[in-house]
Amino acid sequence: MSELIFHHYPNSPFSEKVRLIFGFKQLSWRSVTIPVIMPKPDLVALTGGYRRTPVLQIGADIYCDTALIADVLERIKPAPTLYPVAQDGLARTIAQWADSSLFWSAIGYAFQPAGMAAMFGHLPPQALQAFAADRAALRGDAARLAVPEATAQLNEFIRRIDNMLAGGHAFLLGAEATIADFSVYHGLWYVRRVSAVAGIFDAVPRLMHWMDRMAAFGHDQPAAMTGEEALAVACASTPVAGIDAGAHADFLDLHGAAFGDVVTVMPGDYGLDPVEGRLVVSTASEFAIEREDARAGTVVVHFPRLGFQLKKSGDAA
Ligand SMILES: N[C@@H](CCC(=O)N[C@@H](CS)C(=O)NCC(=O)O)C(=O)O
């Protein structure tokens, strides 16, 4: 198998989720640091337009969204597992809640004036304006949480998470970490790094000990790679699930889109940048489309089905 090439930046919470999964599974990886705001020309050459962070590349296969990335890492290295059989449904359901509701309450809380000053106070005004404009464009019409609501939610959420540890076990669902731990952790990590707002955890020392145990998984020690080098890897590789591989027996069509049809795929919530290509995977859990790129060559871009929307090209919006 080609190397695991991870496109991310240090302060990205969703990237921290995956970096710790690398540590948990003791997988080695290569690190490509991408820009925090648009433009991201090297990343977008690989993805075809998807701009969110992080993205996993394996040769000419490009995996978007951490829910899918976690599944792919599990396939590559099943032990230790993120999805113990008896807890699979519960762990995935908590993870989905954490990656949405919990994450946005953590971000809304961290972006109060004291948090903003601590995180961005060193930036020149133009850089701050560029960041704010980029994130406004990313969010589009998605609902925003005001600071008082975000604070109330986060307080209640961390009280509930702390309760999950009341049985004395080391991780949220028992003695071993599951995908629920990694998804709950990353938004809280983002807040706890900033001392101006980290006081919210003072009331829950047990939860802070759990966070320390999560941090102890570490990240492995990736060697750096440039975006240009990652593009060269894609160019030199053949995607595993390309058009030539034919349709999988589990091809699931809920859109009137057959194998090989030209479609667009994009997130359902924010960062609504459509990626166009020929549909080569459509299962209960995943879409993938093959596309050509002048810099990346033939690549297959994979998305989780949940949380993403597919349209046949030419269909009305
Ligand atoms: N559901 C996505 C969410 C990804 C996400 O929102 N990432 C943030 C950074 S942590 C982002 O893309 N921010 C804008 C950017 O990096 O351009 C996932 O699990 O990967």
Residue by residue, pLDDT tens for the chain (317 residues) are: 789 999 999 999 999 999 999 999 999 999 999 999 999 999 999 999 999 999 999 999 999 999 999 999 999 999 999 999 999 999 999 999 999 999 999 999 999 999 999 999 999 999 999 999 999 999 998 888 999 999 999 999 999 999 999 999 999 999 999 999 999 999 999 999 999 999 999 999 999 999 999 999 999 889 999 999 999 999 999 999 889 888 888 999 999 999 999 999 999 999 999 999 999 999 999 999 999 999 999 999 999 999 999 999 977 55
Same domain, 232 and 192: no
CATH number at residue 183: 1.20.1050.10
Tokens, residue 199: 């006081």
Pick from 171, 214, 230: which is nearest to 21 by CA? Answer: 214
Pick from 202, 203, 312, 200: which is nearest to 261 by CA? Answer: 312
Same domain, 131 and 54: no
Within a domain: 36: yes
In the sheet that holds 61-64, the strands lie side by side as: 223-224, 30-33, 4-8, 55-58, 61-64, 297-304, 286-293, 275-282, 262-267, 308-312
Q: Is the CB of 16 under 6 A from ligand 1?
A: no
Protein residue with its CA nearest to atom 6 in ligand 1: 52
Burial of 310 from C-beta contacts in 10 A (0-12 / 13-18 / 19+): buried
Tell me the CA–centroid distance for residue 271 and ligand 1, in Å. Answer: 9
Can you give the pLDDT at residue 249? 87
Where is the domain boundary, 194, 215, 236? Answer: 215
The answer to whether the CB of 260 falls within 8 A of the CB of 291 is no
Q: Is the CB of 64 under 6 A from ligand 1?
A: no
Same domain, 270 and 303: yes
CB-based contacts of 303, cutoff 8 Å, min separation 6: 50, 64, 65, 68, 265, 275, 286, 287, 288
Q: Cα angle at 310 between 12 and 5, to 5 degrees?
A: 35
Pick from 74, 60, 47, 48: which is nearest to 3 by CA? Answer: 60
Same domain, 98 and 196: yes
CATH number at residue 270: 3.40.30.110
| Residue-number span of the structural domain to which 130 is assigned | 85-215
Domain tally, the chain: 2
Within a domain: 317: no
Q: Is the CB of 306 under 6 A from ligand 1?
A: no
Same domain, 45 and 157: no
Global model pTM greater than 0.85: yes
Can you give the pLDDT at residue 317? 55
Same domain, 149 and 96: yes
Same domain, 147 and 200: yes
Same domain, 198 and 114: yes
Can you give the pLDDT at residue 242? 85
Where is the domain boundary, 187, 215, 243? Answer: 215
Tell me the CA–centroid distance for residue 136 and ligand 1, in Å. Answer: 13
Can you give the pLDDT at residue 316? 57
Within a domain: 172: yes
Tell me the CA–centroid distance for residue 43 and ligand 1, in Å. Answer: 13
Tell me the CA–centroid distance for residue 51 and ligand 1, in Å. Answer: 8
Same domain, 61 and 91: no
Q: Is the CB of 286 under 6 A from ligand 1?
A: no
Where is the domain boundary, 215, 247, 273? Answer: 215
Within a domain: 235: yes
Q: Which residues of 3-28 are buried (b: 16+ CB within 10 A; e: fewer)?
A: bbbbbbeeebbbbbbbbbbbbbbeee
